[in-house]
Chain A
Amino acid sequence: MQGPPDISRRLLLGGSLALAGAAATGCAIPVGLGSPQTRVKYWHFMGASDGIIMNKMVQSFAKDNPDIFVEENVLAWGEPYYTKIAMAGSGGRSPDLSTFHLARLAGIGAGRILDPINVKLLEEVGLRAADFSPPIWERAHLDGVLYAIPFDAHPMVQYYNTDICGKAGLLGSDGKLKPTTGVDELITQLTKAKEVMGGKPPLAFDALGLGTVGPWRVWWSLYPQSGGTLLSDDGTKITIDDAKALDALRLMRRLGQEGLCDWRTDYGASVANFTNGQAAFLWNGDWETTGLKERGTPFSMTRFPNVFGSGSAQADCHSFVLPHQRNRDPEVERATYRFIAYLVKNSADWAVAGHVPAYLPALQEPEYLALEPQSEYRSVITEVALDPQVWFAGSASRMWIEFGEAFSPVISGERSPEDGLAAAKASLTRLMSAPNPFPAEERR
């Protein structure tokens, strides 16, 4: 399915990124001694369409603020990113600003790897606690100290192909997917889509592969719907409800076994299949929105289906943190906060990428409210399932990867749901018994 328009688009993107890179280095040269510009070194992991939007925001900030030069450094998402942040922060010669997943805050050694946020400077640039979604703002603190500035929440959502769903009669009169409730309705919906697709699996999600976290994301969307939890609030006891956990796993296995989801797709293949119309549904985070629009896939989005009693869905939040620096230049620090404020206040631009802003005023802006299909799923934000606040949780954490490893073979049918759950519990027990490398008393 790699037609010429596809290639030219890639070339275009590649070329524009290369140009942006060249522009960045071009700009970097004059910023030195005696330069009037303040340089802010910014690390982030926003790839693909997220990366393009972030790059646009950086450029428009540069246009409005000629006295500040933001040096954008895009690093690969996932484990290696957090290894780099940890190394940079521990050395004390780190970037001035970096993006971060809120759920990882408990495990990164806040106070050692990350510096606390200067609330006074934050107020100077016009950001106040009341501007942020309260539960997310709460998660940005550790022991009452603010370590991160929330940017967005990115929940699991359901993408659907409007052509295929239309043919299968799954759309309502308004052209939107008729919502399903419960296991049976979901299976019926998928079966109908399967029929019009000539028996091909209609659902795609990241089900296997190198360090796959997809099985965790799907399970952590389904299982909390029935009120299931993972750990006690203080993180010392496993509180998994076996019956509910197994219900979710049995459904995942059933999807794979009955050919309703393609259990042989890794992350890239799941997105590619949906993009090319080889899948009617995609369960994924909300960040593929821009890419799918650019490729012209006939699609829309809706909330993750309500299967086990509520519409809850797995989510994490992007945020900004200040990796530890031994000597923070006050001028650079001010410039950093101005840049953060610019990004946060322009959250509506960022929402184009699919994410739900954490900055409440942005949620009221007409331009945000008009965004399609973002408005179809943003109501999930009050029902998201965040990670437990323990040191081994968060995006691309050991817990995600180990749960992914435990559940991936359940989807493919190689492992029984019981064995999968037992493997996950064993991982969790091991993680809990391992000492936290950054104990609370280490916080300065």
Chain B
Amino acid sequence: MTTTVAAPATAAPVAQAKVRRGWTQHGLLFVAPFLLIYVVFLVWPVLLGFRMSLSSVNIAGGNDHLVGFANYAEAFSDPRMWRSLWNTLVFTVLSTVPLVLLGLGFALLVHHLRFVQWLWRLSFFGPFLLPSAVVSLLWLQMIYPPDYGLLNGTLGTDVLWLGDPSTAMWSVVMTTVWWTVGFNFLLYLAALQSIPQHLYEAASIDGASAWDKLRSITIPLLGRTTALIVVLQLLASLKVFDQIYLMTGGGPEDSTRPIIEYAYDMGFTGYRIGYASAVSYILFILIVIVSLAQLRLFRKRAEVSS
């Protein structure tokens, strides 16, 4: 190892200037390993996926004929594709709102509790550490079963939580909130701790009430964190798959099937990889649009505030 490194080092001065300009000026050499991985595992699959979405390729890689945009045309006229896309959007809205608000609420609570803080932090963040399979099975087998489940037992109700199309999505959202709110909570807690204490002291001297302080100091100063959390949350919710696949399999009556599961169903159990790629691309385009819209929104807001 050392000898191979030593040789170019002594020969370096001659070519030095050129090498610098070409490769290291922008640190390209340093990011090369990352770029390589990025291209091989992200850029290339994205391109390949698009190529597949224009073909009738099956799971064995056979039947690979270009069919133009036929898969997209089929997807746009497929009521189950629309239904699953709608489900993904509904889940995103239903989950993002409580995940952001509860994250903030819990963080404010814990921030103001001055005793055994580690316990509160752990309690809210704990579920986030569980893998999706554990969370799903826990809720599926212990909390939601209609006859012997914890929820019906405690509430004295007789609800088919995951079995009724009108409650299934809410149940999935409830599980998801319990599971992932800890991450937002932690981000908010960190942001709260970085707000300088003297602002509150000054406000107190001016006679501000607790509500005034929250409204005029805490919330505005958490603005950047909120923006970050909303972006991360929207992207995470749009990509929902694990817990729904494990808890309802998309049922009952298609009421919870997210678009990713639809792509999975079409590709891996229906063997139509071409069509599944087209469905994936529809989600991809949706995510790009949401991300761009948010980027614009935040840029404008940043300009206004500066």
Would B275 and A434 count as touching, CB distance under 8 A? yes
Q: Which residues of B contact A155 (CB under 8 A)?
A: none
Contact of A438 among B62, B165, B251, B253 (CB under 8 A): B62
Closest to B80 in A: A430
Would B56 and A435 count as touching, CB distance under 8 A? yes
Contacts of B222-272 to chain A: CB distance below 8 A: 247-249, 251-254, 265, 268-272
Distance A284 CA – B56 CA, assembled complex (angstroms): 38
Would B251 and A109 count as touching, CB distance under 8 A? no
Distance A90 CA – B58 CA, assembled complex (angstroms): 10
Would A430 and B253 count as touching, CB distance under 8 A? no
Type the 1/0 row for A189-203, where 1 means its CB is closer than 8 Å to any CB of B: 000000000000000
Type the 1/0 row for B32-59, where 1 means its CB is closer than 8 Å to any CB of A: 0000000000000000000000001011
Q: Which residues of B contact A392 (CB under 8 A)?
A: 270
Would A210 and B248 count as touching, CB distance under 8 A? yes
Report the count of interface residues on B (CB-CB < 8 A): 32
* Cβ distance A273 to chain B, nearest Cβ, rounded Å: 10
Would A405 and B270 count as touching, CB distance under 8 A? no
Would A109 and B272 count as touching, CB distance under 8 A? no
Contacts of A210-252 to chain B: CB distance below 8 A: 210-212
Contact of A398 among B74, B164, B248, B269 (CB under 8 A): B269
B294 on the A face (CB < 8 A): no
Contact of A264 among B59, B163, B165 (CB under 8 A): B163
A208 on the B face (CB < 8 A): yes
Distance A264 CA – B164 CA, assembled complex (angstroms): 11
A141 on the B face (CB < 8 A): no
* Cβ distance B271 to chain A, nearest Cβ, rounded Å: 4
Report the count of interface residues on A (CB-CB < 8 A): 32
Would B63 and A439 count as touching, CB distance under 8 A? yes
B160 on the A face (CB < 8 A): yes
A301 on the B face (CB < 8 A): no
Distance A405 CA – B275 CA, assembled complex (angstroms): 22
Where chain B touches its partner, the secondary structure class is loop
Distance A434 CA – B269 CA, assembled complex (angstroms): 14
* Cβ distance B255 to chain A, nearest Cβ, rounded Å: 10
Distance A430 CA – B82 CA, assembled complex (angstroms): 14
Would B253 and A437 count as touching, CB distance under 8 A? no
Closest to A264 in B: B146
Contact of B61 among A90, A208, A264, A414 (CB under 8 A): A90
Quick one: which of B60, B74, B164 has the most chain A CB within 10 A?
Answer: B60
A79 on the B face (CB < 8 A): yes
B201 on the A face (CB < 8 A): no
B303 on the A face (CB < 8 A): no
Distance A104 CA – B74 CA, assembled complex (angstroms): 25
Distance A438 CA – B270 CA, assembled complex (angstroms): 11
Would A86 and B59 count as touching, CB distance under 8 A? yes
Q: Which residues of B contact A209 (CB under 8 A)?
A: 163
Would B269 and A79 count as touching, CB distance under 8 A? yes
Closest to A89 in B: B60
Question: Which 8 A/B pairs are nearest by Cβ-Cβ distance?
Answer: A90-B60, A437-B58, A210-B249, A437-B271, A79-B269, A83-B268, A437-B272, A86-B59
Interface residues of A (CB under 8 A from B): 79, 82-83, 86-87, 89-90, 107, 109, 112-113, 208-212, 264, 392, 398, 405, 408-409, 414-415, 426, 430, 434-435, 437-439, 442
8 further A-B contacts with Cβ under 8 Å, apart from A86-B271, A210-B251, A442-B63, are A113-B60, A209-B163, A398-B265, A426-B79, A434-B272, A437-B63, A437-B271, A438-B271
